[in-house]
């Protein structure tokens, strides 16, 4: 049987380190379906990737290396950080220098830009779709020297040319997949101390068509639902095995379809587990009182709301299936049930104006609880395969040289992203719960560890991010927030003046050149 080294390349830790459950599914499938020998290298907390990679390859001597790549970039920041450059320099290049055998990449980002990533990394193979089914067959063919052509879900690049670019492979019966065994492959101690949750999917696929989103490109345009009873069993097993009772549902939209979501919650309630539940995506289109009651009974101590805007004009341009009144109604229900929420707001749609920005800021500032976290990002990042990317390429095939692999954000017609960011930044100084999704705001590890320790000592079920709001309130009380605002205004004024001077010099140079 083959020896497979699986590497978690994700080292991005915002808002907290992510346990590589997807790769654990792959490892479990390889051992269960192929009896292969698996070694797991988790680089999330590595201080020396080169040493760890060399040591693993030399001691294990693998036949195949599989590398999971989670993110292309940090998505929401005003100044986007291109994470693939870090993966290339810190992981891929070291693997290629030390190992001459087949290297295959996979993960969510490959589902978006697999062929472009093969060119960028100068690699031969990429798997997109449900890797639990494709990876065992890939290893089998490598082991038996069978042709790789024709393997569903596989992208093949040879002699700098893509010779196969297959559609993502999707498992129709998700209940057939084995439960992952993270304790078999990972040291979870630091993840526990940092408050990292267990990731669970109740389904794969997405039926929505948000203009900027790639979920249905990665997972398909129809729902593939998991059996609610099996979901509850998997959670019970993972909590028992890992000692982690913080569970995050990572569905594209947790509460759609609503009937299935309620069935999952009822199965969890029946288990009577002591859980701290959290979901990364709740659409305001499908929130009702019964749903929130079931969520509270099941153990939800926080939710994420993917509102993006509180302006109908902008929501329509983003192809959202809800309106401003749904956002307001959701906020009212969450307050009445006392469920903490993180609100995700994204400025920069094509129809954005100064008036729409202020409408959203004023609305969210009014309806969100003062102890809710409001995450603000500036700019709509365009990814390959998103509806907006397809629309752009219809009119301008030369808009991007690498099909949006490197960060590109659309610019609204009536306001610049710089002005949007400045308006939102100034507005946020009056709200300690407003938080910008930027690299400089990444929560430090010591704060996560301290916060989780404090909450554990006091047996509190409050979300750890409420400590951020508390700290900003303290800053406001002591006048530090006022000082920060003053420094921001000085810096902004200085930047504007410098920009004005540079523009003046450019005009002078152009005038000189035109006269000569």
pLDDT of residue 507: 41
pLDDT of residue 316: 97
Indicate the DSSP class of residue 433: T
Do the strands 303-308 and 37-42 form a parallel or antiparallel pair, or are they unpaired?
Answer: unpaired
Domain 187-470: which CATH number of 3.20.20.70, 3.80.30.20, 3.40.190.10, 1.10.3810.10: 3.80.30.20
* Mean of all residue pLDDT scores within the chain: 91
Q: Which two tokens stand for residue 395?
A: 């009119």
Q: How deeply is 514 buried, as exposed, middle or buried, from its count of CB atoms within 10 A (0-12, 13-18, 19+)?
A: exposed
Q: How confident is the model at residue 505 (pLDDT cuts 50, 70, 90)?
A: very low
pLDDT at 502 over 70: no
Q: How deeply is 490 buried, as exposed, middle or buried, from its count of CB atoms within 10 A (0-12, 13-18, 19+)?
A: exposed
- Span 186-210, average pLDDT: 93
pLDDT at 437 over 90: no
105: which strand partners?
67, 126
Q: Are 126 and 155 in contact (CB under 8 A)?
A: yes
pLDDT (tens digit per residue) in 44-75: 999 999 999 999 999 999 999 999 999 999 87
Backbone Cα Rg of the chain? 24
**Which range (17-21, 314-318, 353-357, 477-481) has the least confidence?**
477-481
pLDDT of residue 14: 77
Percentage above 90 pLDDT, the chain: 77
pLDDT (tens digit per residue) in 396-419: 888 999 999 998 998 999 999 999
pLDDT (tens digit per residue) in 439-467: 656 667 777 788 888 887 777 888 888 88
In a 3-state reduction of DSSP, which class is residue 445?
helix
Q: How confident is the model at residue 18 (pLDDT cuts 50, 70, 90)?
A: very high
- Span 185-197, average pLDDT: 92
Q: Which residue has the tokens 């790769």?
A: 23
- Span 250-279, average pLDDT: 96
pLDDT at 512 over 50: no
pLDDT of residue 511: 42
pLDDT of residue 398: 87
**Which range (50-54, 128-132, 228-232, 443-447) has the least confidence?**
443-447
pLDDT at 222 over 70: yes
Topology (CATH level 3) of domain 3-165: Rossmann fold (3.40.50)
Percentage above 70 pLDDT, the chain: 94
pLDDT of residue 516: 38
Q: Which two tokens stand for residue 13?
A: 């830790």
Q: How confident is the model at residue 496 (pLDDT cuts 50, 70, 90)?
A: low
pLDDT at 514 over 50: no
Q: What is the DSSP string of 382-430?
A: --TTSHHHHHHHHH-TTS-SSTT-S--B---SSS-HHHHHHHHHHHHTT
pLDDT at 169 over 50: yes
Higher-confidence residue: 174 or 1?
174
**Of residues 307, 301, 337, the one with CA closest to residue 322:** 307
Q: What is the DSSP string of 242-296?
A: H---EEEE--SSTTSSHHHHHHHHHHHHHHT---EEEES-B-GGG--HHHHHHHH
The Cα 267–Cα 236 span in angstroms is 11
């Amino acid at each position: 049987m083959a020896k497979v080294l699986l590497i978690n390349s994700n080292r991005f830790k915002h808002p907290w380190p992510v346990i590589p459950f997807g790769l654990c599914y792959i490892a479990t499938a390889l051992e269960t379906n192929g009896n292969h020998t698996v070694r797991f290298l988790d680089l999330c907390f590595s201080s020396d990737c080169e040493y760890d990679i060399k040591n693993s390859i030399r001691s294990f001597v693998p036949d195949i290396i599989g590398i999971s790549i989670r993110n292309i970039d940090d998505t929401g920041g005003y100044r986007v950080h291109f994470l693939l450059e870090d993966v290339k320099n810190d992981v891929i290049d070291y693997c290629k220098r030390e190992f001459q055998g087949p290297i295959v990449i996979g993960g969510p980002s490959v589902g978006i830009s697999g062929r472009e990533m093969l060119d960028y990394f100068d690699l031969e193979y990429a798997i997109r779709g449900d890797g639990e089914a494709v990876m065992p067959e890939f290893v089998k063919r490598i082991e038996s020297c069978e042709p790789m052509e024709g393997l569903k879900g596989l992208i093949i690049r040879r002699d700098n040319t893509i010779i196969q670019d297959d559609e993502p492979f999707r498992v129709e019966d998700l209940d057939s997949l084995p439960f992952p065994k993270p304790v078999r492959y990972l040291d979870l101690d630091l993840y526990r101390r940092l408050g990292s949750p267990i990731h669970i999917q109740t389904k794969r696929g997405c039926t929505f068509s948000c203009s900027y989103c790639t979920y249905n490109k990665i997972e398909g345009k129809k729902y593939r639902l998991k059996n609610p009873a099996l979901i509850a069993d998997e959670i019970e097993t993972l909590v028992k095995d890992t000692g982690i009772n913080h569970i995050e549902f990572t569905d594209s939209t947790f509460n759609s379809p609503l009937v299935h979501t309620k069935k999952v919650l009822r199965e969890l309630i029946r288990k009577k587990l002591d859980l701290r539940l959290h979901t990364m995506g709740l659409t305001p289109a499908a929130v009702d009182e019964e749903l929130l009651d079931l969520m509270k009974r099941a153990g939800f101590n926080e939710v994420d709301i993917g509102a993006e805007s509180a302006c109908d004009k902008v929501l329509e341009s983003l192809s959202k299936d809800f309106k401003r009144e749904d956002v307001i109604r959701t906020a009212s229900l969450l307050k009445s049930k006392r469920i903490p929420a993180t609100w995700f707001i994204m400025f920069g749609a094509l129809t954005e104006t100064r008036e729409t920005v202020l409408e959203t800021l004023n609305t969210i500032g009014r309806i969100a609880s003062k102890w809710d976290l409001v995450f603000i990002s500036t700019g709509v990042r365009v990814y390959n395969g998103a509806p907006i990317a397809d629309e752009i390429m219809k009119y301008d095939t030369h808009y991007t040289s690498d099909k949006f692999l490197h960060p590109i954000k659309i610019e609204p017609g009536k306001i610049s992203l710089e002005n949007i960011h400045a308006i939102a930044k100034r507005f946020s100084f009056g709200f300690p719960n407003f938080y910008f999704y930027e690299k400089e705001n990444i929560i430090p590890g010591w704060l996560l560890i301290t916060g989780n320790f404090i909450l554990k000592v006091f047996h509190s079920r409050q979300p750890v991010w409420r400590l951020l709001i508390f700290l900003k309130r303290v800053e406001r009380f002591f006048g530090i927030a006022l000082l920060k605002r003053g420094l921001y205004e000085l810096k902004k004024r200085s930047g504007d003046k410098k920009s004005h001077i540079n523009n003046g010099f450019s005009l002078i140079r152009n005038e000189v050149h035109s006269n000569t």
